[in-house]
């Protein structure tokens, strides 16, 4: 098992728990690139640092929009509901990685009329239930039935406000008749990963909520459980969302953002560098390293 990510993941989760809603981390990029950027307009990106897809794309956008001539401000929040509400209210300009089609559909139903979809950068994202790959007799969610004692009656989840948590609690558990046997334990992504590592180190049974794309699928020896009832939902795209009127206010940025498309290799490399120990506490350095090896990741990328 590769452990290089875990220290940083726990640190990210800790940072997320300490960041207060509406608290700005003060990180800015004053541009200076070759683009016009409408004369240095400011774009505020708001994201959850404990959710590494948004963390990765936020720092990629900080670099790229800065090179277009925009001033970029980074604002860290701790709850998806606050992100969607703040975006709808125009408190900031962008959310750089939204699971808006299914996982966070409830927030789009509530706030979607005041949010602008700027495009999808990744297709095929999914929610999963996973166990260590040494558990040869557990290959489907159906196999969990009647075996709660082996797992201490717990499924280890992530943040209470996550769409993954809601899907698992409200759909998967009742669909498979597991609600009376298992408790979905929620805390944070970092805590879930710490539990997963300790259980794997001890070769003990554990079942967790995971998702794809996520670096942990490659870093830990885990396998997705088959989901014959489709209770974890289908695949969806990961979207850039803007406040209403974003494209009109920032037309050059909107046009650039619309063209960003990442495949598994390009996205995986970016997330691995952003969350890895080599560039711990240096996400800008991680982006620069990614640019050197992925200069042709998508048309229009400013290396």
Same-domain pairing of 47 and 69:
yes
Q: Per-residue pLDDT for 146 more than 60?
A: yes
What integer pLDDT is reported at residue 16 of this predicted model? 36
Q: In this structure, is residue 80 part of a structural domain? A: yes
pLDDT tens digits for range 48-59: 988 899 999 999
pLDDT tens digits for range 30-47: 433 444 555 569 999 999
Residue-number span of the structural domain to which 199 is assigned: 126-224
Output the CA angle 274-80-222, nearest 5 degrees: 55
Same-domain pairing of 172 and 186:
yes
Angular region, 94: left φ>0, alpha ψ -120 to 50, beta rest: beta
Q: Per-residue pLDDT for 171 more than 80?
A: yes
Cβ proximity of 94 and 254 under 8 Å: no
Same-domain pairing of 53 and 196:
no
Residues 6+ apart with CB under 8 A from 149: none
pLDDT-wise least confident of 113-122, 151-160, 214-223: 214-223
Same-domain pairing of 245 and 258:
yes
Q: In this structure, is residue 9 part of a structural domain? A: no
pLDDT tens digits for range 107-144: 999 999 999 999 999 999 999 999 999 999 999 999 99
Q: How many domains does the chain have?
A: 2
Domain boundary, last residue among 224, 249, 278? 224
Q: In this structure, is residue 163 part of a structural domain? A: yes
**What is the number of other CB atoms lying within 10 angstroms of the CB of residue 89?**
12
Q: Per-residue pLDDT for 8 more than 60?
A: no
Element containing residue 26 per DSSP (H, E): strand 24-29
Ranges of H-type helices in the chain? 6-18, 37-40, 52-67, 80-88, 105-111, 163-167, 173-175, 189-201, 216-219, 246-249, 251-258, 264-275, 283-293
What integer pLDDT is reported at residue 276 of this predicted model? 87
Residues 6+ apart with CB under 8 A from 207: 129, 130, 131, 138, 144, 151, 154, 155, 156, 225
What is the Cα–Cα distance from 13 to 7, expressed in whole angstroms?
10
What is the Cα–Cα distance from 270 to 267, expressed in whole angstroms?
5
What is the Cα–Cα distance from 26 to 61, expressed in whole angstroms?
16
Q: Per-residue pLDDT for 226 more than 80?
A: yes
First to last CA, the chain: 32
Q: In this structure, is residue 46 part of a structural domain? A: yes
Same-domain pairing of 156 and 220:
yes
Cβ proximity of 212 and 53 under 8 Å: no
Residues 6+ apart with CB under 8 A from 72: 28, 29, 31, 42, 43, 44, 45, 61, 62, 65, 66
Same-domain pairing of 206 and 132:
yes
Q: In this structure, is residue 300 part of a structural domain? A: no
Q: Is the pTM of this model over 0.75?
A: yes
- Identify the CA nearest to 196 among candidates 214, 221, 215, 163: 221
% of the chain beyond a pLDDT of 70: 87
Same-domain pairing of 111 and 250:
yes
**What is the number of other CB atoms lying within 10 angstroms of the CB of residue 263?**
12
Q: Domain containing 141 — which CATH number? A: 3.40.190.100
Q: Per-residue pLDDT for 210 more than 60?
A: yes
pLDDT tens digits for range 59-110: 999 999 999 999 999 999 988 899 999 999 999 999 999 999 999 999 999 9
Q: In this structure, is residue 153 part of a structural domain? A: yes
How would DSSP label each residue in 150-191?
A: GGTTEEE---TT-HHHHHIIIIIHHHTT-TTT-EEE-S-HHH
Q: In this structure, is residue 271 part of a structural domain? A: yes
Q: Domain containing 75 — which CATH number? A: 3.40.190.10
């Amino acid at each position: 098992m590769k452990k290089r990510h875990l220290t940083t993941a726990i640190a990210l989760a800790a940072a997320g728990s300490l960041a207060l809603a509406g608290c700005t981390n003060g990180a800015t990029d004053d541009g200076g690139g070759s683009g016009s950027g409408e004369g240095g307009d400011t774009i505020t990106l708001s994201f959850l640092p404990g959710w590494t897809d948004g963390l990765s794309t936020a720092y990629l956008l900080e670099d790229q929009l800065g090179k277009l001539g925009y001033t970029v401000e980074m604002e860290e929040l701790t709850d998806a509901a606050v992100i969607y509400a703040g975006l709808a209210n125009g408190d900031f300009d962008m959310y750089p990685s939204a699971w808006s089609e299914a996982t966070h559909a409830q927030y789009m139903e509530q706030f979607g009329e005041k949010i602008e979809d700027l495009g999808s950068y990744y297709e095929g994202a999914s929610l999963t239930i996973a166990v260590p790959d040494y558990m040869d007799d557990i290959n489907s969610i159906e196999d969990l039935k009647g075996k709660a004692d082996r797992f201490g009656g717990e499924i280890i989840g992530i943040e209470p406000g996550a769409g993954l948590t809601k899907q698992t609690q409200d759909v998967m558990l009742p669909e498979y008749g597991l609600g009376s046997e298992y408790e979905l334990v929620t805390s944070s992504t970092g805590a879930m990963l710490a539990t997963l590592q300790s259980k794997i180190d001890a070769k003990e049974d554990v079942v967790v909520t995971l998702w794809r794309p996520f670096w942990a699928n490659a870093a830990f020896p885990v396998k997705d459980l088959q989901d014959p009832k489709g209770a974890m939902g289908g695949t969806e795209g990961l979207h850039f969302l803007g406040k209403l009127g974003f494209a009109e206010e920032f037309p050059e940025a909107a046009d650039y953002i619309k063209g960003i498309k990442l495949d598994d290799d390009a996205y995986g490399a970016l997330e691995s560098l952003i969350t890895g120990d080599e560039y711990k506490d240096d996400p800008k350095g991680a982006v620069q390293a990614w640019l050197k090896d992925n200069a042709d990741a998508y048309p229009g990328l400013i290396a």
